[in-house]
């Protein structure tokens, strides 16, 4: 497996755990690949401790050529937009007063072809805000309007990361709409909330993970370029969401074990999962600081001399907005006749909190990482 994919997964897990700590009972959702890409671009312009800490937090130790690695991933992932309504925006907006060095511009031109933009926060703040609002709106086909909240940028903003990720899943095997019923979703041991539950019976790759008393299933989207993995505890066993045991044991090694094909086998599954739409705006700054980005956000300590001679340049803010829609929609299910008799029968009823990952099959990068705790 390639080093960059391992690095990106490790960072994804670290940040997921941080976000879960911040939000123990609520839904969590973010796009690891967007954030990794943006921070790796920032690293190209960083030096000294600032560059080192980005490398550490993003687990780049064993990655030989980080920008080239992201160039390959970006180019592969961009191809997905011809199959899905998937938008991944990962921009770095830099104030023009930084007077970016020609070396930085030329070294990032290829690997980060669409990710770097120079704007004028200092002298034309309102115009720039409008420009960013509008370009993100256009790039997400109108889904994300006004992404910049009023206090997210000001005339002192030097470097701004804007991530916007949008996906409407289209399954390889569609759910029948007539099978969707309102069901109680057990948010914890005692309480339920109504949810629209989608149902089908079909063959999927599924497994049991005994160490966390949990089931795992892989649900491919159309054309199999993307899959959603669901980690579902067999029951709500703790006093909160029922996910405590998984969250505790989750790390990059355990995740790669749990999602390994050898953990799973084809089974005829009676599947029930909620229809849902989650829209999340996260502020990852505090989480990233906890993970070890100690210098990058402070004008006194950051070192961006790889991109600019200007002093006191820091990463001013990180805007990260994600929207994911899971519906019945998909292709016609083609079941192989005959195979079904031999198959082991199983059930997966996601009527209580679960963790999910949407992964790119080819590069194994995690596009979305979330937990669904409450409709």
Ligand X SMILES: *[C@@H]1O[C@H](CO)[C@@H](O)[C@H](O)[C@H]1NC(C)=O
> What are the residues binding ligand X (CB under 6 A)?
99, 101, 126, 129-130, 133, 146, 148-150, 187-191, 218, 220, 224, 227, 239, 361
Q: Which is nearer to ligand X, 239 or 347 (CB)?
A: 239
CB of 210 to ligand X, least distance (A): 23
List the one residue out of 174, 200, 191 whose CA is nearest residue 326.
174
Q: Which is nearer to ligand X, 66 or 269 (CB)?
A: 269
CB of 61 to ligand X, least distance (A): 28
Q: Which is nearer to ligand X, 50 or 128 (CB)?
A: 128
CB of 169 to ligand X, least distance (A): 14
Please give the residue whose beta carbon sits closest to ligand X in the complex. 146
Distance (Å, whole) CA 54 – CA 297: 12
CB of 217 to ligand X, least distance (A): 11
Q: Which is nearer to ligand X, 66 or 228 (CB)?
A: 228
Is the separation of the CB atoms in 161 and 42 below 8 Å? yes
List, as one string, the DSSP characters of 82-148: GTSEEEEEEEEEEEGGG---HHHHHHHHTTTTTTEEEE-TTT-HHHHHHHHHHHHHHHTTTSS---S
CB of 203 to ligand X, least distance (A): 12
Q: Which is nearer to ligand X, 96 or 294 (CB)?
A: 96
CA angle 273, 275, 276 (to 5 degrees): 120
Q: Please, where are the H alpha helices in the chain?
A: 3-22, 32-44, 48-57, 66-78, 102-109, 125-139, 244-249, 252-258, 285-291, 339-342
Distance (Å, whole) CA 63 – CA 83: 29
Sign of the Cα pseudo-torsion (12, 23, 372, 149, in order): negative
Using only the alpha carbons of the chain, give its radius of gyration.
21
Q: Which is nearer to ligand X, 264 or 324 (CB)?
A: 264
Q: Which is nearer to ligand X, 60 or 258 (CB)?
A: 258
CB of 191 to ligand X, least distance (A): 4
Is the separation of the CB atoms in 77 and 15 below 8 Å? no
CB neighbours of residue 357 within 10 Å = 24
Q: Which is nearer to ligand X, 85 or 135 (CB)?
A: 135
CB of 346 to ligand X, least distance (A): 17
For 22-53, letters b (16+ CB in 10 Å) and e give eeeeebbbbbbbbbbbbbbbbbbbbeeebbbb
Q: Which is nearer to ligand X, 52 or 97 (CB)?
A: 97
Q: Please, where are the H alpha helices in 151-251?
A: 244-249
What length is written for the chain?
Answer: 375
Q: Which is nearer to ligand X, 125 or 289 (CB)?
A: 125
Distance (Å, whole) CA 280 – CA 371: 12
CB of 219 to ligand X, least distance (A): 9
The first and second tokens of residue 33, run together, are: 């690949």
CA neighbours within 13 Å on the CB side: how many for 256? 13
Distance (Å, whole) CA 231 – CA 365: 17
CB of 216 to ligand X, least distance (A): 13
CB of 240 to ligand X, least distance (A): 6
């Amino acid at each position: 497996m390639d080093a960059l994919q391992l690095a990106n997964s490790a960072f994804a897990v670290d940040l997921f755990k941080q976000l879960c700590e911040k939000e123990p009972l609520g839904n969590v959702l973010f796009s690891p690949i967007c954030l990794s890409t943006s921070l790796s671009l920032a690293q190209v312009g960083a030096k000294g401790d600032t560059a080192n800490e980005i490398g550490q937090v993003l687990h780049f130790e064993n990655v030989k050529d980080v920008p080239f690695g992201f160039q390959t991933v970006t180019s592969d992932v961009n191809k997905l937009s011809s199959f899905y309504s998937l938008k991944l925006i990962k921009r770095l907006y830099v104030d023009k007063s930084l007077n970016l060095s020609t070396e930085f511009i030329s070294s990032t031109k290829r690997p980060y072809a669409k990710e770097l933009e120079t704007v004028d926060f200092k002298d034309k703040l309102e115009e720039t805000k409008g420009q960013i609002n509008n370009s993100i709106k256009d790039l997400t086909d109108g889904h994300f309007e006004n992404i910049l909240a009023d206090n997210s940028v000001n005339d002192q903003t030097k470097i701004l990361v804007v991530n916007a990720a949008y996906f409407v899943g289209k399954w390889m095997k569609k759910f029948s709409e007539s099978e969707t019923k309102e069901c109680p979703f057990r948010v914890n041991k005692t309480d339920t909330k109504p949810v629209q539950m989608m149902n089908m019976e079909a063959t999927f790759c599924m497994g049991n993970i005994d160490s966390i008393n949990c089931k795992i299933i892989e649900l491919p989207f159309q054309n199999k370029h993307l899959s959603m993995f669901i980690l579902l505890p067999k029951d709500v066993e703790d006093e909160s969401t029922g996910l405590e045991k998984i969250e505790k044991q989750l790390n990059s090694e355990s995740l790669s074990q749990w999602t390994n094909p050898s953990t799973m086998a084809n089974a005829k599954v009676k599947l029930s999962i909620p229809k849902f739409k989650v829209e999340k705006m996260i502020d990852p700054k505090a989480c990233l600081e906890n993970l070890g980005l100690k210098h990058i956000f402070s004008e006194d300590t950051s070192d961006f001399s790889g991109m600019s001679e200007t002093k006191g340049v820091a990463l001013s803010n990180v805007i990260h907005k994600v929207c994911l829609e899971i519906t019945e929609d998909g292709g016609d299910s083609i079941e192989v006749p005959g195979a079904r008799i031999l198959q082991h029968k199983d059930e997966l009823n996601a009527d209580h909190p679960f963790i999910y990952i949407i992964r790119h099959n080819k590069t194994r990068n995690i596009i979305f990482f979330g937990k669904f705790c409450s409709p």
